[in-house]
Amino acid sequence: MSLTVIGTVALDSVTSPFGSLEKGLGGSATHFSASASYFTPVSLVAVIGEDFPQEHLDFLSARNINLEGVQKLPGKSFHWKGKYEEDLNIAHTLATELNVLLEFQPQLTPEQKKTPFLFLANVDPNLQSQAIDQVEEAPFIAADTMNFWIEGSRQALLNMLKRIHMLVINEGEARLLAKESNLLKASKIIRQMGPEILIIKQGEYGALAFYKEEIFSAPGLPLEDIKDPTGAGDSFAGGLMGYLSKTGKKDFESIKQGIIYGSVMASFNVSQFSCEALKNLSETQIKERYETFRNLARF
Amino acid sequence: MSLTVIGTVALDSVTSPFGSLEKGLGGSATHFSASASYFTPVSLVAVIGEDFPQEHLDFLSARNINLEGVQKLPGKSFHWKGKYEEDLNIAHTLATELNVLLEFQPQLTPEQKKTPFLFLANVDPNLQSQAIDQVEEAPFIAADTMNFWIEGSRQALLNMLKRIHMLVINEGEARLLAKESNLLKASKIIRQMGPEILIIKQGEYGALAFYKEEIFSAPGLPLEDIKDPTGAGDSFAGGLMGYLSKTGKKDFESIKQGIIYGSVMASFNVSQFSCEALKNLSETQIKERYETFRNLARF
């Protein structure tokens, strides 16, 4: 099967205690699709500016990611600049230059309108809804969001949530969205907003998944070499959705396995800046890391 | 087999958003032994003051905990007063009245000196070492500690660590002890200090265990009803050591299972103030909660 993602394709400038990156390849849809491309054909809906380097497009094409839905608009590409402290959980946004992102109107290609799996990466929930408006064959729809939209565009977000099957957010976002600090209570409140399945990302601690009365706790793999956490959550969602798209399944057992593949991809992604670590992974590396996760959690 | 624990038996005054407790039963050795008593015969080494209520001793005796090693000294019992915020991870110590704890000199009974399993709950590392000095038949020794000793009695702590097999501490303590923020690196540094096995408690996120090249990640069970987190770590260690003592095993597979039993006992312990939740658990409740943990982590 195939997987369509709408989100940002950006230039990222990142500083961490382990180095820095100046206008490298970034964006939610970029990390997502690079990760998902190891599992399934991916098709991208995004916007870039005239300054966007051809080499980045070449990388995405080489990963067999369909770029027909990527619009190039006059002006500069979306640029994010951030800095991580010694404790990599602490990030500071130094600049957010939206540029062409301000003009973004997602336009799904005829093929994308028939996608069986759709992921709405972190963008304005109104744009996420516009993408849903265009699909024609009732795909499995999952989405991400962030504090900025939860606080600033709550109604648009609630409208979008009614129309999706799965929400993938982090702990802080879950608490903010539900207005409830207890995660178990929050998980019930959020699922009443629409998505039947809720995935709560917990960074180095792994992830929780909620479906009906079931709960799954995915372990976090302790890592020695983390250079740049940017895109960890997007590559996680990419592995998860990529696996579902590959298998064509949406049951909770498959989602659990997808979460582990997502964790695998995120664990690689953070080991280098930008999407570097997702450039040349082998199937064997992915399978071995999956087994590492299995052994980690087995008792 | 049987299990000996040295630590504090205290009176706790606790306030949380869900109620309060005035001079109730508390202390590291208390929570530990109440928890462990569901698995194995437990024998206590501790000190109490003249004000210590007989009803608390009656409860411990009723749980078949041997109190011959509990000294009653002139003066008042150790009293801890604390307050938890809405976010129960945030605790404030309002008072620490050491009282008779200042006079504590652990004296193992002849039977305790032959114990096959010894747990050194959180007290002055010099006292922990004094207990080790008295054992006669090379028991399996595990210990807990806290920031106060890591920062204030580092050399005494390092001396003690050389003599134990397993250390059970939380994340912050591990980072402070190792002087290293990356947990994987910290786990190696700490194991070079002595203990072959390191258990890192992560509160609601579960726990990590390190042994040689192996890592185990125990899930945290999302709970709706947490009233009082006091003693969570001690009841965790009690379930773990209680299970090892019951089975007589010390291999890493058994330690993994013990960690889950520890998590089970901690999950009950936090559901009520003091040790209330550990008063009348059934074997069925413990087994069912163990299965809940198994299902939580299975993929």
**Tens of pLDDT along B64-123?**
999 999 999 999 999 999 999 988 888 999 999 999 999 999 999 999 999 999 999 999
Q: How far is Cα B96 from Cα B93, in angstroms, rounded to an integer?
A: 7
Taking contacts as CB-CB distances below 8 angstroms, the residues of chain A near B257 are 299
Helix or strand or coil: residue A120? strand
Distance of alpha carbon B101 from alpha carbon B47, whole angstroms: 7
Pick the residue from chain B with its C-alpha nearest to A205. Answer: B205
Q: Quick check: is A94 in a domain? A: no
Q: What is the pLDDT of residues A205-219, one digit of tens each?
A: 999 999 999 999 999
User: B253 CB near a chain A CB, below 8 Å?
Assistant: yes
Q: Which residues of A touch B216 (CB under 8 A)?
A: 296-299
Residues recorded for chain A: 299
- Interface A–B counts its CB contacts (< 8 A) at 85
Q: Which residue in the set B205, B223, B297 is minimally distant from A297, CB to CB?
A: B297
Beta strand residue intervals within chain B, DSSP E: 3-6, 10-16, 19-26, 42-48, 65-72, 79-84, 91-97, 117-120, 140-143, 166-170, 197-201, 207-211, 214-218
pLDDT tens per residue, range B17-66: 999 999 999 999 999 999 999 999 999 999 999 999 999 999 999 999 99
Read off the pLDDT of each residue in A56-61 and give the average, rounded to a whole number. 97
Q: Is A251 within 8 Å of chain B by CB?
A: no
What would the two tokens of residue B198 be?
């390191």
**Residue among B184, B205, B217 minimizing CB distance to A297:** B217
Which residues of chain B have a CB within 8 Å of the CB of A294?
299
Summarised one tens digit per residue, pLDDT across range B194-204 is 999 999 999 99
Contact B219 A217 (CB under 8 A): yes
Residue B258 distance to chain A (closest CA, Å): 10
Q: Report the alpha-carbon distance of residue B110 to residue A31 in Å, rounded.
A: 64
A219 interaction partners in chain B (CB closer than 8 Å): 206, 217, 219, 297
Domain that residue A34 falls in:
3-10+28-79+105-297
Mapping DSSP to helix (H, G, I), strand (E, B) and coil, where does residue B88 land? coil
Q: Per residue in B176-188, pLDDT tens?
A: 999 999 999 999 9
Query: Among all residues of chain A, which has the CA nearest to that of B261?
Result: A299
Contacts B214 to A, Cβ<8 Å: 295
pLDDT of residue A86: 85
Q: Are the beta carbons of A294 and B294 separated by less than 8 Å? A: no
Measure in Å the smallest separation between the Cα of B296 and chain A Cα atoms: 5
Helix/strand/coil percentages in chain B, nearest 5: 40, 25, 35
Residues of A in contact with B297 (CB under 8 A): 216-217, 219, 297, 299
ipTM over 0.95 threshold: no
Q: Touching check for A184 and chain B: CB below 8 Å?
A: yes
Grade residue A80 by pLDDT with cuts at 50, 70 and 90.
Answer: very high
- Sorted by sequence, the CB contacts under 8 Å of residue A262 that are 6+ apart come out as A35, A207, A235, A236, A237, A238, A239, A240, A243
Give me the CATH number covering residue B146.
3.40.1190.20
pLDDT in tens, A124-172: 999 999 999 999 999 999 999 999 999 999 999 999 999 999 999 999 9
Model confidence over B261-287: pLDDT tens digits?
999 999 999 999 999 999 999 999 999
A216 to chain B: nearest residue by CA? B296
Whether residue A44 is contained in a domain is answered as yes
Query: For chain B, how many structural domains are there in total?
Result: 1
- Contacts B205 to A, Cβ<8 Å: 202, 205-206, 220
User: CB under 8 Å to B32, separation ≥6 — which residues?
Assistant: B5, B7, B119, B121, B234, B235, B237, B238, B241
